[in-house]
Amino acid sequence: MLLPGAEAMPLEAALAHYAAHGWARLGSVIAEDCLAQLRERADRIMLGEVVHEGLFFQHDAQTGRYDDLPRGAGYQGPSLGYRKIEKLERDPLFRAVLENPLFGRIAHARIEGGVVLYRAVLFTKAATGGTQLPWHQDGGSFWGLSQDPALQIWTALDDAPVESGCVEVIPDSHLAGLATPLGGVIPDDVAERHRAAARAVPLPARAGECLLIHNHLWHRSGVNHTGKPRRAFTVCLMSESVRCLRKKRAPRTFLPLYR
């Protein structure tokens, strides 16, 4: 599934950039035939042609506004308008990509001891536009963990130019920690105070390219104007020492990886 040479590619420069700035490019990593299979599998999951028990679905809002997203509705029938599908480690094809040796090298370079999976997610922006995702951080008490993860590997399954609603970041913003203890979406007044819009850096990517993203890095994405789907597979990795703190249900357990 990896391009020739990708498994052993040098990582020092990318990891240094990631530590300093909160993000880094790995360049093209995934082979085109694998990308084609992943795109087809993503569509078949959304259309209900491939079914795995326990997947989490969230459909786009009809308005394209993040605040209008349906909460807790789950699978709403065959549609290519789902914004997010979680727990893709339950699909054999996505699981194989998740477990590739390059990702294992990156994880062990950044995480001491055993590595576990927090989440494996498909983020999509449908050809019809998708949803505008505001500035946010992937951590905080909202995530319900004893310690925030700090490593996400984002892989473009389609070309993601600026016009498609590519990822935008504020470099170095991870160094200040969480904007709010809750984490997640950054309040508008906080974003304005930090001049977020003026400091935004778009990260267009080609299909098969991987980005490293720190969980505390401020990032967002816009609406897709290309008329073509924009899909990305994101994995969030963390130390096996991290514990789930939720009380209303049994605490989550996490899949061990890269033994």
- Helices 12-21, 101-110: inter-axial angle, 10-degree rounding: 50
What is the pLDDT at residue 259? 83
In the predicted model, is pLDDT for residue 68 greater than 90?
Answer: no
Mean pLDDT of 96-106: 97
pLDDT of residue 63: 86
* 11 falls within a domain: no
Considering only residues 246 and 34, tell me which one the structure prediction assigns the higher pLDDT: 34
- Does residue 200 contact residue 169 with C-beta atoms inside 8 Å? yes
In whole angstroms, give the CA distance from residue 21 to residue 70: 33
CA–CA dist 148, 135 (Å, integer): 18
User: If you search the block for the tokens 């004893």, which residue do you land on?
Assistant: 146
State the chain's mean pLDDT as an integer.
Answer: 96
User: Domain range spanning residue 166?
Assistant: 16-257
Q: Decide if 9 is inside a domain.
A: no
Other C-beta atoms lying within 10 Å of the C-beta of residue 145 = 19
**CA dist., res. 231 & res. 224, Å (int):** 11
Token pair listed for 182: 């809750």
For residue 64, pLDDT beyond 90:
no
Domain assignment of residue 194, yes or no: yes
* 5 domain residue, yes or no: no
Record the tokens describing residue 112, joined without a space: 């001491």
Confidence of residue 6 (pLDDT cuts 50, 70, 90): very high
SS3 88: helix
Q: Which residue has the higher pLDDT, 68 or 102?
A: 102
In DSSP terms, which residues pair with 167 in a beta bridge? 221
Give the number of domains in the chain. Answer: 1
Burial of 66 (0-12, 13-18, 19+ CB in 10 A): middle
Q: Does residue 252 carry a pLDDT above 90? A: yes
CATH number for the domain that contains residue 29: 2.60.120.620
Q: What's this model's pTM, rounded to 2 decimal places?
A: 0.96
* Residue 3 domain-assigned (yes or no): no
Asked whether residue 4 is assigned to any structural domain, the reply reads: no
pLDDT in the model for residue 46: 98
First to last CA, the chain: 20
